[in-house]
Structure 1
Amino acid sequence: MTSRMPAQRPKGRLRVDESIPPILRPLIRAYVLGYASSVAPRLLTLVPQHATKRTRNRGQSSVTQPHDSFVTSLQRILRGGLELQRFPTFCAALVGGTTLFEALVDICIFRLRGRWSDLARRRLSRWIASFVAAWLSLRLLQSKKTDSFAETKTPDADLPLSRIQKPSRYAGRTLDLTLFAATRAADVIVGELWARRRQRKLAAGQWTWFDSSISKMTDPSVFATSCAFIMWAWFYTPSALPRAYTKWVSSAAAVDARLIEALRRCREGDLRYGEETGQAGLLQSMCLDFKWPPDWGDPAVSIPFPCEIVHMGCGPNCEYHALSRFYRSFKWSMATYLPLNLVARKKNLRGVRAALLSAARSSSFLAAFITLFYYGVCLARTRVGPYVLGKHRAARQIIDAGVCVGSGCFMCGWSILLENPARRKDMALFVAPRALATLLPRRYSCDKQWRETFVFAFSTAVIFTCVRENRRRVRGVLGNVLGSVLEA
């Protein structure tokens, strides 16, 4: 076995890191990184919130109240990150446990020497150590009880009061974390198998343009499919998405809630064309606000309601509405992306130019995402759908009961082709766990929690073992972060 040279320490490594024993360095790094990632976003939102509150309260008699509130909130955020059952401790237990358990596991399987190669033994010990550490660290997070995953059921009146006050606990708090690990592990396994297949085909001279196309289109396809599930859930089952995610999508979509509710009622069967079901008031109130004829909002009279209602004041032309959506969404996106890019770039002419180009590209992607969703709805309702499914009442009901929304969901994600190819993989791996979460219950019985724990532990063991053996196989930022954290 060839000797391995010790990895050179990066020049920017702090001296305090050198004073820590090598076996404890990953644990300390993981805790600091976990603490920063959990506290920093809350601090960034705290400052503008209290600045706004201070502006509102200016001129009032109580001047110290905003400051006192800010200090109290700051202390609560900083102390909250130090609690035992929080994310920083989880990161330290996961990473530190992996490195500490590895030495112990390596001793236990030492007797395999002679039957297994040194490489196989090292991989096995790393996998087992990561599996055990992941299982125990996730159980630490799952042990924290929260009111959102508890429900007090009121039984019959003849049962004792103690039964009434006892809440039922549910699992699912860590589901997003588990799905993140599972999708990353799947990406590692599939990527490794595909790389070996590519190597064999290249050696045999059998690598074709079709194989190359699959390699290029995998990430866009994963992104588009995931976005289709996410947008469908946002439209019909928003409770399947995290609240902050739903709020952001609603802000980007800029759509009247009455229009969404009308299409939901079409799918549920409460709103039926050609029948009086008492649903006319929903869209008629919208017609009054936009100064449209009230009959447009009556499903018993208007079959279907005009596509101009979907355009929300942009006129009857679907293509003009799409261009208008792109323009408004591009401006909204640039207001977000441009400041971030300017902060991240050097303060010179070349840096400003690069920031403008990067912000414009990302804004074009997001604007195209929104535009394709809306135009997909219009294609199904007006441009293509009636000529395929028909123009009779039943066909119109089918279109507005899900076909139009499904068309928009299918189209929107392909805007990823406008993004930088280097960013597509990160974006695909970002949305894939959220798409999977829409297919699973957010809360489930605690007696099934071991299944989630096993999936997380197995997936994390795959990722950590791969990072130690071949960091490049764990794609995106995650591979670099884990590699720097796990190194001694």
Structure 2
Amino acid sequence: MATSTRSPRRSWDAPVPPIFRPLLRAYLIGYASAVGPRFLSLLIQYTLRRQKKERETNGNGKKRKDSFLVALQRVLLRPMETQSFPTFCAALVGGYTFLELPLKSIIDRNGSNISELARKRLSRFLASFISAWMSLQLLQSKQTPDFTGTTPHPHPSKPPVTTHFAGRTLDLTLLAATRALDVIVGELWARRRTRREAAGHWTRWDARIGRLADPALFAFSSGLVMWTWFYEPARLPPAYQRWISTAAAVDNRLITALQRCRDGTLRYGRDTGQAPLLGSMCDDYLWPRHWGDPAVSIPFPCEIVHMGVGPSCEHHALSRFTRSFTWAMTTYLPLSLLLALRSRGPRSLLTSPPALRRVLLSAARSSAFLGAFITFFYYGVCLARTRIGPHIVGTSTPCRQRLDGGICVGTGCFLCGWSILLEHAGRRKDIALFVAPRALATLVPRKYGKEKEWRETAVFATSVAVVLTVFAENRRRVRGVMGGVLNGVF
């Protein structure tokens, strides 16, 4: 009896010559990442507008043309410009692909005394370095209003002087630098483990350090981000700042009061004119107004931090977790369902209780992580200013000033990130590597002089060269989403 053999599935880009496939895949991935979020945001806005039956009119009272198609056209066509992210992705990958073989030939002719492996690594490094340098300059050449300033000319009769600033590609550079550091540290740790296992010196403490590396990275990074959000929010990207503010759900007057405690504007035991700040908050929550007077209340009661939940710090923490968990589930549950439907299909998901249970548990676990993150931050503030801090620092007026002037917020920043231990171990690395570049961004200026841009370009090119060179030899070394993207491209 003859047996039928199923032919292998034909790739969608099979008609494309192999050397052009990575370039095409990189362009499409870049295009999807540029269009996808904007298209989804546009669709949500349009749906909400239709539900509310809003009719926009111009000054003459005539009905305006539906702006949805115009906005959709802009979302779809703008990423096709020359100085766009998809073009950058294609230039980086295409340059690396096309330059590697010619550079390898040149190095082979002039470096016969170098080993074959070293010549391969050098050609890959140089090819990726050159392509990364040129592709980033493509993005940097685009001028935007946010990075353009004007100053009056010394002579009033002449037009203002236009100054262009660098920093548009800083987030991309920090992402590449973080990934390069992760690759280097991971490779060094893997070699250390191999040596110690061969010598029989690998211990449980070594294994624990390896498992705690990603949680520690996330805890440090998220703590730095939260500290910046609290005291220097302008150093964070606006969208990131708004998202944290939404998740935190805190009265801005409370944040302002703690900020003024830190800079000395609000001082306990002195009338510096700051009583109306928290006094208005006391009026809104029906508390005694003197609670918000720093000259009288030293310190102001922790119930103000709880914002109407009650005097108990533990009850406030439980309330925070419940509210944050519920809020997070509205995001994580639909996302988990969509991912499951994409991979399994609706029929398989509905007819398989274990699969549906895994989806629910995954969403609940991620929601618990985010809920605990917010809870730990707030409870850390309470621990420092009420529960433990006064027993360590002291209860005098200067000690209370120190506690509310940074120690309480610092404690919350230190504790909140360890909630990552509630998340699945496989996701910790992705979350940690997502937050780490944003933490680095708080340490460098968002804008800087154009004459210093070459430094950023050099960091980016070197980082990309490290990642691609290591990836060519050991694909598993590039972890998480970035590793998946590179596997899809190459």
TM range (shorter): over 0.9
Alpha-carbon shift at residue 21 of structure 1 (Å) = 1.4
Alpha-carbon shift at residue 292 of structure 1 (Å) = 0.4
1:336-385, Cα deviation, whole Å (9 max, x unpaired): 11111112224222332111100000000000000000000000110011
Partner residue, 1:71: 69
Alpha-carbon shift at residue 59 of structure 1 (Å) = 7.3
Give TM-score, length-normalised by structure 1.
0.94
Alpha-carbon shift at residue 154 of structure 1 (Å) = 3.0
Alpha-carbon shift at residue 148 of structure 1 (Å) = 0.7
Can you give the 5+ residue segments of structure 1 that lack an aligned partner in the other structure?
1-8
Write the mapping of 1:253-272 to structure 2, written as runs, cut at 5 A: 253-272=248-267
Partner residue, 1:6: none
Which residue of 76, 83, 88 corresponds with 1:90? 88
Which residue of 333, 344, 357 corresponds with 1:353? 357
8 A contact 2:153–2:161 mirrored in 1? no
SS at match of 2:268: coil
Partner residue, 1:174: 169
Alpha-carbon distance in 1 for matches of 2:63, 2:265: 50
8 A contact 2:381–2:408 mirrored in 1? yes
Alpha-carbon shift at residue 65 of structure 1 (Å) = 5.5
Alpha-carbon distance in 2 for matches of 1:26, 1:209: 42
Write the mapping of 1:313-332 to structure 2, written as runs, cut at 5 A: 313-332=308-327
Which residue of 437, 450, 459 corresponds with 1:433? 437
8 A contact 1:224–1:412 mirrored in 2? yes
SS at match of 2:290: helix
Which residue of 7, 11, 14 corresponds with 1:13? 11
8 A contact 2:321–2:375 mirrored in 1? yes
Write the mapping of 1:232-251 to structure 2, written as runs, cut at 5 A: 232-251=227-246
Q: Which moved more, 1:27-36 or 1:347-356?
A: 347-356
Partner residue, 1:283: 278
| Paired residue total | 473
Is 1:297 matched with 2:292? yes
Partner residue, 1:122: 120
Alpha-carbon shift at residue 480 of structure 1 (Å) = 2.2
Give TM-score, length-normalised by structure 2.
0.93
Partner residue, 1:147: 145
Partner residue, 2:463: 459
Q: CA RMSD in A?
A: 1.8
Write the mapping of 1:187-202 to structure 2, written as runs, cut at 5 A: 187-202=182-197
SS at match of 1:210: helix
SS at match of 2:80: coil
Partner residue, 2:411: 407
Q: Which moved more, 1:339-348 or 1:458-467?
A: 339-348
Q: Do the aligned partners of residues 468 and 67 (structure 1) sit closer, same or farther apart at CA in structure 2, a change above 3 Å counting? A: farther
SS at match of 1:152: strand
8 A contact 1:54–1:66 mirrored in 2? no
Can you give the 5+ residue segments of structure 2 that lack an aligned partner in the other structure?
1-6
8 A contact 2:150–2:161 mirrored in 1? yes
Alpha-carbon shift at residue 443 of structure 1 (Å) = 0.6
Alpha-carbon distance in 2 for matches of 1:177, 1:167: 26
SS at match of 2:165: strand
Is 1:42 matched with 2:38? yes
Alpha-carbon shift at residue 64 of structure 1 (Å) = 10
Alpha-carbon distance in 1 for matches of 2:75, 2:175: 25
1:141-172, Cα deviation, whole Å (9 max, x unpaired): 0111011112212355xx2443x522211111
Alpha-carbon distance in 2 for matches of 1:485, 1:161: 55
Alpha-carbon distance in 2 for matches of 1:46, 1:287: 40
Partner residue, 1:4: none
Partner residue, 1:52: 48
Which residue of 11, 21, 24 corresponds with 2:20? 24
Alpha-carbon distance in 1 for matches of 2:334, 2:189: 39
Alpha-carbon distance in 2 for matches of 1:199, 1:226: 29
8 A contact 1:467–1:483 mirrored in 2? no
